[in-house]
Amino acid sequence: MGKINGFLEHAREDGRVRPEEERVRDFKEFHERLEPAAQSVQAGRCMDCGVPFCQAGVMISGMMSGCPLHNLVPEINDLVYRGRYKEAYKRLSMTHSFPEFTSRVCPALCEAACACGVHDAPVSTKENEKSVIEYAYEHGLVREERPEVRTGKRIAVVGSGPAGLAAAQLLNRRGHEVTVYERRDRVGGLLRYGIPNMKLDKALIDRRIALMEEAGVRFEVNRDIGRDIGAEELEKEFDSVILCCGASQPRDIAAPGREAHGIFFAVDFLSEVTRRLLDSGLKTVPYELARDKDVVIIGGGDTGNDCVGTCIRLGARSVTQLEMMAEPPEQRLKTNPWPEWPRILKVDYGQEEAIWKFGHDPRVYQTTVKEFIKDKEGQLKEVVLVSLKSVRDAATGRMNMVPVEGSERSCPAQLVLIAAGFLGSEKYVTDAFKVEVDTRTNIKTEPGKHASSRPKVYAAGDVHTGQSLVVRAIAEGRAVAAEVDCALMGYTNL
């Protein structure tokens, strides 16, 4: 696979990234592609290792190692190295539904598990994948064929995020009639409204949806299942119902002053920014949402980082990002060996832009908000921060983050965005379908299965696994499609 000793001869090279001073002026994507010849060199770094963890997709120490889709990574890298992009796309599409999404927003679990990365930089599998799918679009290779024969089975998919789209794609290819219901005004779920445009251009979603519609998938927007349409009505009309409506119940911060104006859940804020951009065709930027404001973001994950980048583009005066846990090490510890996911310090695009604009990393570790302070009009004006320390619980043995007495200090804030993760499914949906849920309110199924406690009703994606990655949601959607197909037809070839 690849070039013999290529990993010894060539250093890793990534596609150009637009400089911070340029990219913060707009909401356009800023990661560019290498030229084909240069990408070929990068693909040639693949080592053809005997045990390719890059495509394993297994849980190790509670974390995913390798691609959950089990993409044929060494084979695809070899074909990119040889310039055989058409064949590379065929290999990629055997296991993957939407490489155009993951090649932009995935944290690259494949690269974290790359054997080349043990002593050097890993193979640029994510950019190789992007080069393949964009070549395929540019040369008319990406198609969604309308099935010549229909099975007569009708399936409803609730939710148009990555899990719902993947399930709909495969079930339609199989010949079933598929209708996807989306409660928002546009298709895409969190792909559309939870990920900023500079990270995933929404035109890419529209490009794929157009192909699916041409192939016969039906999309209905502004239809909130469980409210606008009852569960029993849906079950009566369709042979199977697949719930792919996400883990969209945000975790709140219970601190005094929470009722102050100017405090929002991060996804609601990001959704509003995207909605206004899309409504204006990206011509009108809603600067008024953050311009000249001191912004405090509670949460250090991907969503928090997206909020940092978004607020900088909206002209924030300052941005502070709070992280409850301690700052990670810069290198793997012995307790975190390869091929586990590396728990190390990463600087994402939002932090890069904050360092460029404000001169320092916006993240403050082992810190949270103790109190929100408002003015006489009820508008947020500052927050009281408190440091945290790790203390072992004598009863359970678990380590808990507890406040450090006397560490309180004030920080100006007219806008707070809560990016503290999600608690699980929306209760009104699970109540409407009367499905069992687990202790985390995820829809309960048998291990490795997707059928819920209610006949004909299945679950996939975050509503099934809890908050996770786009790539895992796509894998869930593909798996539930095969399970539903088998239940309806007695066998499956998906």
Read off the pLDDT band of 492 (50, 70, 90): very high
What's the pLDDT at 253?
A: 95
d(CA 313, CA 291): 9
Give the chain's radius of gyration (CA, Å): 23
Beta-sheet pairing, 294-298 with 318-323: parallel
Give which of 434, 478, 67, 488 is closest to 244, Cα–Cα. Answer: 478
Closest CA to 487 of 137, 272, 239, 287: 239
Using DSSP, state whether 111 is helix, strand or coil.
helix
**Distance between CA atoms of residues 175 and 224, nearest Å:** 26
pLDDT at 3 over 90: no
Q: How far apart are alpha carbons 211 and 190 in whole angstroms?
A: 20
* Tokens found for residue 251: 């975790």
pLDDT in tens, 368-378: 999 999 999 99
What is the spatial distance between Cα 126 and Cα 102, in angstroms, rounded to a whole number? Answer: 8
Mean pLDDT for the stretch of residues 22-47 = 96
- Cα(80)–Cα(131) distance, integer angstroms: 9
Is residue 420 classed as helix, strand or coil in its secondary structure?
Answer: coil
Question: pLDDT above 90 covers what percent of the chain?
Answer: 95
d(CA 228, CA 233): 11
Per-residue pLDDT tens over the stretch 182-232: 999 999 999 999 999 999 999 999 999 999 999 999 999 999 999 999 999
What is the predicted pLDDT for the residue at 244? 98
Q: What is the pLDDT of residues 269-283, one digit of tens each?
A: 999 999 999 999 999
Helix spans in 120-201 (H): 125-138, 162-174, 190-193
Q: Give the model confidence (pLDDT) of 439-458 as tens digits.
A: 999 999 999 999 999 999 99
What percent of the chain is predicted at pLDDT more than 70?
Answer: 100
Whether a cis peptide bond, with omega within 30° of 0, leads into 329 is no
Grade residue 48 by pLDDT with cuts at 50, 70 and 90.
confident
Query: How many degrees, rounded to 5, is the angle at CA 224 between CA 425 and CA 106?
Result: 50
pLDDT of residue 87 exceeding 90: yes
3-state secondary structure of 390: strand
Q: What is the pLDDT of residue 366?
A: 97
Q: At 397, phi and psi to the nearest 5?
A: 85, 0
Q: How far apart are CA 1 and CA 7, in angstroms?
A: 11
Tokens of 162: 């990555």
- Alpha-carbon span 204 to 133, nearest angstrom: 11
Write out the two tokens for 64: 């995913």
8, pLDDT greater than 80: yes
Both tokens of residue 314? 């909206």
Is a pLDDT exceeding 90 seen at residue 246?
yes
For the chain, give the mean pLDDT: 96
Give the pLDDT of residue 394.
Answer: 86
Q: For residues 150-156, give the mean pLDDT.
A: 98
Domains and CATH numbers, the chain: 6-138 (1.10.1060.10), 154-248+423-489 (3.50.50.60), 252-420 (3.50.50.60)
Per-residue pLDDT of 412-442, as tens digits, reads 999 999 999 998 899 999 999 999 999 999 9
Checking if the pLDDT of 1 tops 70, the result is: no
In the chain, DSSP finds a helix count (H) and a strand count (E) of 18, 18
Inter-residue contact 456 to 235 (CB < 8 Å): yes
Chain-centre distance of CA 147, in angstroms? 30
The structure tokens 């109540």 sit at 431
Burial 271-304 (b: 16+ CB within 10 A, else e): bebbbebbeeebeebbeebbeebbbbbbbbebbb
DSSP state, 241?
E
- Count CB atoms within 10 A of the CB of residue 50: 6
